[in-house]
């Protein structure tokens, strides 16, 4: 599998999580920490050429109100909901032929992530 650097850069992701008092446990991804959820996201979108990500699992990591901000070029960002995020990833998968090469995304510096907590109430 080839390692792609900056073809699909995810430099930071903004998650809007509700505190668990406003949600049932199943809506909070089993009470995982934001770091655990981001790590799981990277695991789900890393695949070899013989596999396809489970996009429903990817979407399940986000609450319905999630806002995902991606750096999509050297000097621009896109603001997406969870469905647009998956659609963009699928589109880039086809564009860059990930079905032939696979795709690997790694967290190199966790400080590049900004995580906001939306407090219920």
Q: What band does 61 get if pLDDT is binned at 50, 70 and 90?
A: very high
The per-residue DSSP string of the chain comes to -PPPSSSS-------EEEPGGGS-GGGGGGG--HHHHHHHHHHHT-B-TT----HHHHHHTS-TT--EEEEEETTEEEEE-HHHHHHHHHHHHHHTTHHHH-B----S-GGG---EEE---
Q: For 79-96, what is the mean pLDDT? A: 94
Rounded mean pLDDT of the chain? Answer: 73
> Which one has a higher pLDDT value, 21 or 104?
104
pTM: 0.66
What the block records as the tokens of 15 is 């998650």
């Amino acid at each position: 599998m080839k390692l792609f650097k900056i073809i699909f850069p995810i430099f930071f992701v903004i998650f809007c999580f509700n505190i668990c008092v406003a949600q049932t446990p199943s809506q909070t991804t089993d009470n995982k920490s934001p770091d655990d959820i981001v790590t799981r996201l990277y695991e789900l979108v890393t695949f070899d050429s013989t596999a396809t990500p489970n996009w429903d699992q990817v979407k399940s990591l986000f609450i319905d109100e999630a806002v995902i901000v991606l750096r999509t070029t050297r000097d621009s960002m896109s603001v997406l909901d969870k469905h647009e995020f998956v659609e963009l990833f699928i589109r880039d998968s086809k564009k860059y032929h990930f079905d032939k090469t696979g795709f690997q995304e790694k967290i190199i510096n966790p400080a590049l992530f900004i995580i906001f907590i939306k407090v219920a109430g």
